[in-house]
């Protein structure tokens, strides 16, 4: 019989895990969506996505978490007795001990067990290390111009650096001309290779303003 490794002699064994934490609000700031805090089912949506993408559609067994010092409540997910993920609301005692305010929801995936059930090879891409930058534009447009059109034009201008386009305020009233409306649009920019400079960001914003003026008849409001 082979001699146990030094690691096992000391009573330790290392296993690979994937962890997900969620807290705060479900959605970003928007003119037509009220902020709602994350909850158990919000986290469960991410858990289901990970399982479906990696192991596909397989039979799963769910058991309530019992007698846990880490969780206030939640579920254990298994496949034929093999533990895949434990997730739920983090114990209030744990949060208090770490001076964390607000609810936190946590999922712990047994990555070795999950990969053993993987239905196909997956390509793993490293999370971008460089920061996102947000810039806002206040636009006056015709009432019949839809946000989808503005979003499409934005991605025509910049496909690489532009990561997200969203509306966070809409106004139709006596402060804009009749037949027009005001949109406040937020653009998220990010490079996968470096931190963006102000010059690079300004160049993208100038291109956005130009195409909006030429293709959608937009008037850009300045403060």
* Token pair belonging to 5: 């490794």
Percent of the residues in the chain that have a pLDDT greater than 70, as a whole number = 90
Do 20 and 60 lie in one domain? The reply is yes
Residues 170/176/179/183 CA torsion (nearest 10 deg):
-20
- The answer on 106 and 25 residing in a single domain is yes
Flag whether pLDDT at 53 surpasses 80: yes
> Rounded mean pLDDT of the chain?
87
24/102 same-domain check: yes
Residue 210 lies in a domain: yes
What integer pLDDT is reported at residue 6 of this predicted model? 43
User: Which of 162, 145, 164 shows the shortest CA–CA distance to 212?
Assistant: 145
Task: Decide which of 115, 142, 165 is a domain's last residue.
Answer: 115
Same domain, 139 and 73: no
Helix axes 198-216, 147-157, angle to 10 degrees: 130
pLDDT of residue 35: 77
Give pTM, 2 decimals.
Answer: 0.61
Domain contains 35: yes
Convert 157-178 to b/e letters by CB count within 10 Å (16 or more is b): bbeebbbebbbeeeeeeeebee
How many Cβ atoms are within 10 Å of 71's Cβ, its own excluded? 21
Query: Taking Cα atoms as reference points, which of 9, 20, 139 lies closest to residue 88?
Result: 20
Q: pLDDT per residue over 128-145, tens digit each?
A: 899 999 999 999 999 898
In 3D, which of 77, 84, 90 has the Cα closest to residue 39? Answer: 90
User: Is pLDDT larger for residue 56 or for residue 90?
Assistant: 90
Asked if 143 contacts 180 with a C-beta cutoff of 8 angstroms, the reply is yes
- Could you tell me if residue 150 is inside a domain? yes
Q: Residue 120: its pLDDT value, please?
A: 66
Q: Give the domain CATH number at 137.
A: 3.30.70.380
* Amino acid 33: pLDDT: 65
User: Which residue range is the domain that position 35 belongs to?
Assistant: 15-115
Of the three residues 61, 85, 115, the one that is the final residue of a domain is: 115
Q: Could you read off the pLDDT of 82-130 as tens digits, one per residue?
A: 999 999 999 999 999 999 999 999 999 999 999 888 866 667 777 889 9
90 in any annotated domain? yes
* Per-residue exposure over 100-133, b if at least 16 CB sit within 10 Å of its own CB, e if not: eeebbbbbbbbbebbeeeeeeeeeeeeeeeeeeb
> How far does CA 82 lie from the centroid of its chain?
29
CATH number at residue 100: 3.30.930.10
More confident residue, 4 or 77: 77
Of residues 67 and 4, more confidently modeled: 67
Give the C-alpha separation, 38 to 76, whole Å: 20
Residue 128 in tokens: 């971008």
Q: What is the CA radius of gyration of the chain?
A: 24
Instruction: Look at residue 29 in the predicted model and tell me its pLDDT.
Output: 64
Which positions ≥6 away from 69 have C-beta within 8 Å? Answer: 91, 93, 94
Mean pLDDT for 187-215 is 95
Q: How many domains does the chain have?
A: 2
Whether 169 has a pLDDT exceeding 90, the answer reads no
Mean pLDDT lowest among 21-25, 67-71, 83-87, 120-124: 120-124
| Cβ(173)–Cβ(149) below 8 Å | no
């Amino acid at each position: 019989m082979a001699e146990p490794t030094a690691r096992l002699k000391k009573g330790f064994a290392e296993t690979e895990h994937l962890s997900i934490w969620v807290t705060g609000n479900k959605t970003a700031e928007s003119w037509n969506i009220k902020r709602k805090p994350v909850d158990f089912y919000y986290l469960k949506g991410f858990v289901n996505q990970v399982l479906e993408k990696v192991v596909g559609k397989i039979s799963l067994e769910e058991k309530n978490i019992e007698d846990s010092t880490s969780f206030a409540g939640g579920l254990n997910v298994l496949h034929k007795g093999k533990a895949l993920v434990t997730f739920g609301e983090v114990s209030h005692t744990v949060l208090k001990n770490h001076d964390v305010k607000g609810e936190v929801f946590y999922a712990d995936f047994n990555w070795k067990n999950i990969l053993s059930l993987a239905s196909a090879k997956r390509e793993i891409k490293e999370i971008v290390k460089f920061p996102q930058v947000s810039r806002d534009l206040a636009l006056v447009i015709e009432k019949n111009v839809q946000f989808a059109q503005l979003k499409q034009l934005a991605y025509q201008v910049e496909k690489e650096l532009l990561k997200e386009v969203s509306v966070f305020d809409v106004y139709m009233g006596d402060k804009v001309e009749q037949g027009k409306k005001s949109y406040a649009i937020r653009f998220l920019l990010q490079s996968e290779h470096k931190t963006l400079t102000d010059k690079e960001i300004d160049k993208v914003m100038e291109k956005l303003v130009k195409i909006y003026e030429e293709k959608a008849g937009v008037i850009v409001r300045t403060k």
